[in-house]
Amino acid sequence: MGEEDVGHMFCMYQYEVGTRSPSPICATALDCNPPLTDPCNPQELLRCGCDARVDEVFPMSILGFNLQQEDSVHFLPYAQLCTFDLIGPRILNPFSEPISQVVSANQDQVTYEGMTSIETGLYRVCAIHVGRLYDVGLVVVRPSCAVPLVLVDGACVEHCPRTKIPVAGKCTAPRACVIAVVCVIQLLSMPGTHRLIRRLAMLSGSVAGLLTQQDYMLAIRMTDPYESSAALVRLHR
């Protein structure tokens, strides 16, 4: 993809569509000492002479030359290297597939629309170009909300609503929980339900008391090889 394919650095936020990096390759960062490691930090970007705009959202762009419409981008935990065995549709990935991709007229840029990540962390960016796999840089995915805040309808709040639970920093309503709540509400709204519940409670209490006072028989299969029939053992509380 070219000599530039090692310098991409992206900043993303969890659940946010797009990146905060208008210029994914910063030429001056190559000579920056100490090296630039956090593309989400405007102070670090300024120190290394890079575009420090991190308050806007841009589509993800991969730079190079002779880029093709078929070129694709993939993501791995940064500790892993780009290999074909670790990428593909069968591999679980926190990043979404792009909804579209556009190659520039002079074929030096591919723009991927709709990229987002449901997990935070540091990831390696791998790109397939003309059948070959390249390591083109890294992406830092920051949490969408500062701990201990949680995300509710795009806003960071202290607590989830009563019908939702926090999952990876986002308030989510489990499907089973929603169904159970709806069923209970419908049951309580039916005529005579409260009287039925009271009668069942009284009956269950009577049955429980009866069981604690009565002897009962249990059929137990004996393990003695010479005993082929079931024996009844009398149990008494």
Both tokens of residue 100? 């579209």
Convert the pLDDT of each residue in 195-224 to its tens digit: 554 554 554 454 444 444 444 444 445 444
Q: Are residues 114 and 210 in the same domain?
A: no
Q: Which of 122, 142, 162 is the last residue of a domain?
A: 142
Judgement on whether residues 125 and 164 belong to the same structural domain of the protein = no
pLDDT, tens digit, 9 for 90 and up, residues 22-31:
999 999 988 8
Quick: pLDDT tens for 36-60: 989 999 999 999 999 998 889 999 9
Q: Could you check whether the bond before residue 148 is cis, i.e. omega within 30 degrees of 0?
A: yes
Asked if pLDDT for residue 154 goes beyond 90, the answer is no
Q: Write the secondary structure of the chain as one string of H (helix), E (strand) and C (coil).
A: CCHHHHCEEEEEECCCCCECCCCCECHHHHHCCCCCCCCCCHHHHHHCCCCCCCCCCECEEEECCCCCCCCEEEEEECCCCCCHHHCCCCCCCCECCCCEEEECCCCCEEEEECCCECCCEEEEEEEEECCEEEEEEEEEEECCCCCCCEEECCEEECCCCCCCEEECCEEECCHHHHHHHHHHHHHHCCCCHHHHHHHHHHHHHHHHHHHHHCCEEEEECCCCCCCCCCEEEEECC
42 token code pair: 């405007």
Mean pLDDT of 124-148: 88
Residues 170 and 202 in one domain: no
Q: Examine the domain organization and report whether 134 and 150 are in the same domain.
A: no
Which of 189, 208, 223 is the last residue before a domain boundary?
Answer: 189
Residue 156: its pLDDT value, please? 80
* 92 in the same domain as 74: yes
Instruction: Note whether 11 and 121 are same-domain residues.
Output: yes
Determine the structural domain holding residue 61 and report its residue range: 3-142
Whether residue 112 is found in the same domain as residue 206: no
Structure-block tokens of residue 143: 């949490």
Residues 134 and 153 in one domain: no
Give the pLDDT mean for 109-123: 93
Same domain, 217 and 118: no
Domain ends where: 124, 142, 160?
Answer: 142
- Please tell me the predicted confidence (pLDDT) of residue 157: 83
Pair 205, 176 in one domain: no
Look at residue 237 and tell me whether its pLDDT is greater than 60.
no
Tally of domains within the chain: 3
pLDDT at position 75 is: 95
* C-alpha triplet 97, 173, 142: angle, nearest 5°: 45
Shared domain for 132 and 175, answered yes or no, is no
pLDDT at 139: 95
Please tell me whether residues 180 and 123 are part of one structural domain. Answer: no
pLDDT at 64: 92
Does residue 177 surpass a pLDDT of 70?
Answer: no
Give residue for tokens 């059948």. 131
What's the pLDDT at 3?
Answer: 43
